[in-house]
Amino acid sequence: MYHMEIHTNIPLKNYVTMRIGGNARFMVDVRTPSEVAEICKRAKAQQLPIYVLGGGSNTLVRDEGYQGIVVRNRIPGFHVIAETASDTTIRIGAGELWDDTVKRAVDMNLTGIEALSAIPGTTGAAPVQNIGAYGQEISETLVAVEVYDEQTDTITTLSNEACQFSYRNSIFRDGQMGRYVILTVTLRLYKSAPQPPFYAAIQKYLDEKQITLYTPQVIRDAVISIRSEKLPDPTQHPNTGSFFKNAIIEQWQLTDLRKEYPDIPTYDMPDGTFKVPTGWLIEQTGLKGQILHGMKVHDKNALVLINESATNYADLAAARDEIIGAVRDKFRIQIAQEPLEMTQ
């Protein structure tokens, strides 16, 4: 029987991909839903806050660290729970690495998450910010999540609808942040081949390689290749992937901006707003490739901040605020940070 070991005074910078931040007062790995329940009850009794950490690729830690318990979710599992002629439903443990989940689904020749290949982090973290890339979002295949509800001390299931997914958002990072610990994720994937039209970058890759037979593996290979070009490996260059969310603007703002920037790239959103690539906005400010306070604006993708020499959160915050300010001054658009912050 595995016994939960609670460690004290752990340097969190070793557990997050940006490699900065103070210490965790307590840290524990959990491998079963009952361990999650037990640690949450213990924390409540001692009035300690809890932060659930997956791969640390979308989390920032402040210099003062975390005074509560950092729970590393390591719940395993990958089980087919239902199958029809057209689809397969799989339940995955929240501690499984997300890219391993994608690889296993693709190996089974299932479609639905192949464009989400090579996204770092755990499967349990994927619904939190409704991960999306190259025309797919996890909300499109997610059936339900099993969660531990700290408010009621019960294990319960939330439907897709109950998660309130929107662009890079969900109930888990918005309305009910801190209430639920995700235990398993259930996805429904399809046996049919991926269908065009594909995202522009994927289509370009397929055209260049003269690929016209589309399989989940072909799309996965394309995405891995494109991402490795655009996104630096966090083990070599500390970063959190996209540091800023893409900007969402109203029609009147777009009309206004087009007068001055006729070539502004946009994507139509279902609710009548427009998504503007924040990387493009940052590029126009001239900050691409620059180093601010030890943080480098990646020269291949201005959405990414690489920690070149910053040693503390204050440096990162200064760089972030300078970039946000430059975009606001030039475009009157307020851009927002994507990674979550471990706060008390």
- Active site residue ranges: 168, 242, 338
Single out the residue of 32, 31, 16 nearest to residue 66, CA to CA.
Answer: 16
Q: What is the dihedral of CA 161, 163, 164, 169, to 10 degrees?
A: -150
68 three-state secondary structure? strand
SS percent in the chain: helix, strand, coil, step 5: 30, 30, 45
Burial of 236 (0-12, 13-18, 19+ CB in 10 A): exposed
Residue at token pair 């030890």: 294
The H-or-E segment that residue 22 falls in is none
Token pair recorded at residue 96: 């499984």
Residue at token pair 């001239």: 286
In whole angstroms, what is the distance from residue 307 CA to residue 85 CA? 48
What's the half-sphere exposure (Cβ side, CA atoms, 13 Å) at 25? 13
What's the half-sphere exposure (Cβ side, CA atoms, 13 Å) at 132? 17
In whole angstroms, what is the distance from residue 254 CA to residue 256 CA? 5
Cβ distance 156 to 162 under 8 Å?
no
Cβ distance 137 to 130 under 8 Å?
yes
